[in-house]
Amino acid sequence: MPAGRLRFVAGRLAQVVPVLLALLLIVVLLQQLMPGDPARVIAGPRAGAEQVARVRHDLGLDQSIPGQFWTYLTHLSDGDLGRSNRTGIPISTIVGERAAVTVWLLAGGLVVSTLLAVPAALVMALRPRSAAARLCARSLTIILNCPPFWVGLMLASVLALRTGWLPVGGFGEDTGQRLRSMVLPCLTIGLAAMPLLARSGAASLRQVLAADHVTTARSLGLSGWPLVRRHLLRNALPPAVTLLAVQAAALLFGAVIVEQTFGLPGLGAEMVNAASQRDFPVVQALTLIFGTAIIGINLLADLAVALLDPRTTWR
């Protein structure tokens, strides 16, 4: 790798460090924000004084804030995320069991949203004054304002309850059942992520359309699908990848909502359940995991775009 690229990668990695530290600090400080005595709250209402003292010591709450931060970091470096309050199961085990569902859901959602967003973006960019483009623009505003949990319920009501084609919720035993139970959640999350993707896609396509090489290609008589495929889509891809990564946070939040609505055993549903049952360590660990994932996705997208785009100049 040439020196310029190496410097770019190192520079981008260095930018991530303060963000990760801020996230860790917030996660550690979250327990300070709890009203009353955090150890008391975490230990639960039935805990005795001795138990509360033990929780306080275990969580490092008897130390100063830098001390707590350090304790959390050392535990983390051993792969120790703590234990659930409700069940006592190590959180790393819970994450290991449940991460796959969330990852598949996100992948499925991404496919659905791309399939829906690309045609809409093409119409809005290529025929901006047509009736179809206006219809798209307005539909996008409406879809953007549909709460995903409600869309999920309505889809379940129409496609599952009325016809019995698909399971309403839960997660089947074998692969076939599991695939079927992922259809509605993927559809919901894809719909939720699609408007922003289509809008940003259309914007980046419009930019490419105005570029000189497209004018040249047009003047050479190229039009229609060959023009779109060879000169538009390829060049609109890098900005779209960046925007997609920016929306990773929204997509993940969509996954949290959809898992809970459809009763899928993923990380998001675990976080909501833990939050409603006041299981602090699980909420804390999942905040950290989701946050790290989003920061990581953004980093990867930035690196990929810069490294794959031949037009990038290395200073």
Q: Which of 252, 264, 266, 270 binds other proteins (CB under 8 A)?
A: 252
For the chain, what is the radius of gyration of the CA atoms? Answer: 24
Nearer to other proteins, 107 or 161 (CB): 161
Nearer to other proteins, 134 or 206 (CB): 134
Cβ atoms of 29 and 288 closer than 8 Å:
no
Cβ atoms of 123 and 132 closer than 8 Å:
yes
Chain positions 271 to 290 lying near other proteins, rule: CB under 8 A, are 271-272, 275-276, 278, 280, 283-284, 286-287, 290
Rule CB under 8 A: say whether 22 interacts with other proteins. Answer: yes
Rule CB under 8 A: say whether 34 interacts with other proteins. Answer: yes
Q: Output phi, psi for 177, to 5 deg.
A: -60, -40
Chain positions 207 to 246 lying near other proteins, rule: CB under 8 A, are none
Handedness of CA 9, 10, 15, 16 (dihedral sign): positive
Nearer to other proteins, 235 or 298 (CB): 298
Closest approach of Cβ 252 to other proteins, in Å?
7
- The helix or strand, by DSSP H or E, that contains position 227, with its residue range, turns out to be helix 224-227
| Residue 92 CA: distances (Å) to CA of 19, 39, 78, 79 | 23, 22, 11, 8
Q: Which of 181, 196, 205 is nearest to 264 (CA)?
A: 181
Q: Which of 146, 183, 222, 243 binds other proteins (CB under 8 A)?
A: 146
Q: Is residue 136 helix, strand or coil?
A: helix
Closest approach of Cβ 229 to other proteins, in Å?
28
Q: Which of these segments, 5-13, 85-93, 152-160, 206-214, binds other proteins (CB under 8 A)? A: 152-160
Q: Which of these segments, 13-21, 116-124, 223-231, 237-245, binds other proteins (CB under 8 A)? A: 13-21
